[in-house]
């Protein structure tokens, strides 16, 4: 069946039919398509185009098609051009000629926008839930080791000591911004396109706010041409997925490193690792590697739609059919990766002695010493120079910070005093970083508390969706 054909003398070539058909992927929109069509039947009833018996009959038939389509076999042998055509064909089989009225004043161009919006709205909500779950798990993992000290890195060189919860809270911030991005994407998606027609606005005076209310949209679109032409609501969704994946990828990279024999800080659970078919001793972090790998794929989905859209003349162009597979793929990969990361986080066991030793044996305390000198009146550049000399001497002699006695330190330069030797313990200097956002234990305790409250707020907003 086709939803067009009157002006053609011959049908499409077999090659074109196969080339242009989208049912094999847009069948994912079947529920959305039907939900939208049911609301449209009610709109036609309100507009006096359908009697209330007709509308009821259509809504009922759509409901049957919806439940029948849960069986994948419902699509077996279906040669329809797209999901909209599939649904109408099934409708015709159920209600006969009445089905011909459902498309009154409606175009597939707005219908496809509506379907994607409904699908993206549900998908954003699902991703928001998974993101909130991961955020909660990060806080749990932070609370398991509240006092653990790790070296923080820049350039993958030990830089300054931080608390383990401080490190995890950095990811909490990234994923909470992702949460906000998903909320924003959801808001942009949650706008009713119906009533726009093919591009010029419907020729029937639909009560668009009533349709919006029926389908739980926050607003109606303002311009019919924009509806046919626009996919930036989908790009917003893909961008939100891409930043989630970017952050997951960096988290994965960290944990692959930290669980390696070279670092040895964390152990990943057996349940999230795989063995080697050849090397009996191997326990590989495949779950994290897959997250890292899939992040490239999702960023590719964003890029793909961007490039599809650039340069299209107003308004709808069939190129836009290429929007669906990137959206479906990005959702599927992002949702799987968020859930995977949560399970990995649950499985992590930290051995606090390992990162503590890494901090002790390196010069992560150097900044603490230089800043202490500066607090006592030594100009910072001078203090930096002095501590640099101390480090150079130590490195040459193979000495770690704690090997310096207070007397030796005081003898090194007159600016140093005996009590400053306590700063050779990474935990000491850390106490000075009490600024909001710093790694002092007091600041981190407050940040953890605040993060928990913020997460509770996010969960409340989620409950309202
Ligand atoms: N399958 C198309 C899409 O996904 C449906 C939209 C309308 N098609 C058309 N030729 N006007 O974009």
What are the tens digits of pLDDT across the range 410-448?
Answer: 999 999 999 999 999 999 999 999 999 999 999 999 999
CA of 322 to the centre of ligand 1 (A): 10
Q: DSSP assignment of 38-93, as one string?
A: HHHHHHHHHTTSS-HHHHHHHHHHHHHHHHHTTSGGGGTT---SSHHHHHHHHHHH
* Angle (nearest 5°) at CA 163 between 136 and 458: 25
pLDDT at residue number 3: 80
Looking at domain 366-424, its CATH architecture is Orthogonal Bundle (1.10)
Cβ contact 308:234 at 8 Å: no
Residue having the nearest C-alpha atom to atom 12 of ligand 1 = 321
Residues having CB closer than 6 A to ligand 1 are 22, 26, 82, 108-109, 112, 316, 318, 320-321
pLDDT at residue number 9: 86
Please tell us whether the domain made up of 110-153+183-203+219-357 is placed in CATH 1.20.200.10.
Answer: yes
Closest Cα partner for 112 from 22, 24, 185?
Answer: 22
- Residue ranges per structural domain of the chain: 14-104, 110-153+183-203+219-357, 366-424
Cis before 102 (ω within 30): no
pTM of the model: 0.96
pLDDT at residue number 30: 98
Alpha-carbon distance of 220 to 204, in angstroms, equals 16
pLDDT at residue number 178: 98
Helix/strand/coil percentages in the chain, nearest 5: 65, 5, 30
162 sits in which H/E element: strand 157-163
Quick one: DSSP state of residue 322?
G
Q: Which fold has domain 14-104?
A: Fumarase C; Chain B, domain 1 (1.10.275)
Active site residue 84: no
Listed as ranges, residues in the chain with pLDDT below 70 are none
Quick one: DSSP state of residue 194?
T
The tokens 């060189």 sit on which residue? 157
β-bridge mates for residue 334, sequence order: none
CA of 60 to the centre of ligand 1 (A): 26
Active site residue 276: yes
């Amino acid at each position: 069946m086709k939803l067009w054909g009157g002006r053609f003398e011959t049908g499409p070539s077999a090659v074109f039919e196969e080339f242009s058909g989208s049912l094999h992927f847009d069948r994912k929109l079947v529920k959305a398509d039907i939900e939208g069509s049911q609301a449209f039947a009610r709109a036609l009833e309100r507009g006096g185009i359908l009697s209330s018996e007709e509308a009821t009959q259509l809504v009922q038939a759509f409901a049957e098609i919806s439940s029948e389509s849960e069986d994948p076999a419902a699509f077996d042998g279906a040669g329809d051009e797209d999901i909209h055509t599939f649904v109408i064909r099934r409708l015709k089989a159920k209600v006969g000629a009445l089905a011909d009225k459902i498309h009154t004043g409606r175009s597939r161009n707005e219908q496809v926008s509506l379907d994607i919006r409904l699908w993206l709205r549900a998908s954003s909500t699902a991703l928001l839930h998974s993101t909130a779950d991961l955020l909660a798990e990060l806080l749990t993992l932070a609370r398991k080791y509240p006092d653990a000290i790790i070296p923080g890195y820049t350039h993958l060189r030990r830089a300054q000591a931080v608390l383990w919860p401080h490190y995890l809270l950095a990811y909490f911030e990234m994923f909470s911004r992702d949460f906000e991005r998903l909320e924003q994407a959801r808001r942009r998606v949650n706008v009713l396109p119906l009533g726009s027609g093919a591009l010029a606005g419907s020729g029937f005076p639909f009560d668009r706010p009533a349709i919006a209310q029926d389908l739980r949209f926050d607003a109606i679109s303002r311009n019919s041409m924009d509806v046919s032409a626009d996919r930036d609501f989908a790009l917003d969704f893909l961008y939100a997925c891409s930043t989630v994946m970017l952050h997951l990828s960096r988290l994965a990279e960290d944990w692959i490193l930290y669980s390696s024999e070279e670092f040895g800080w964390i152990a990943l659970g057996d349940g999230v690792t795989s063995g080697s078919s050849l090397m009996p001793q191997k326990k590989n972090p495949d779950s994290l590697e897959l997250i890292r790998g899939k992040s490239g794929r999702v960023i590719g989905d964003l890029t793909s739609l961007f490039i599809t859209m650039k340069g299209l003349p107003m308004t709808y162009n069939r190129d836009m059919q290429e929007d669906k597979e990137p959206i479906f793929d990005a959702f599927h990969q992002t949702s799987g990766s968020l859930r995977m990361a949560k399970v990995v986080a649950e499985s992590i066991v930290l051995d606090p002695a390992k990162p503590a030793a890494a901090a002790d044996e390196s010069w992560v305390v150097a900044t603490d010493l230089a800043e202490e000198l500066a607090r006592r009146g030594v100009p910072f550049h001078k203090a930096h120079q002095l501590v640099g000399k101390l480090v150079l001497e130590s490195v040459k002699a193979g000495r770690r910070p704690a090997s310096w006695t207070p007397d030796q330190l005081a003898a090194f330069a007159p600016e140093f005093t005996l009590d400053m030797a306590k700063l050779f313990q990474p935990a000491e200097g850390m106490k000075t970083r009490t600024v909001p956002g710093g790694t002092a234990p007091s600041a981190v305790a407050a940040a953890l508390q605040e993060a928990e409250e913020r997460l509770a707020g996010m969960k409340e907003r989620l409950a309202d969706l």
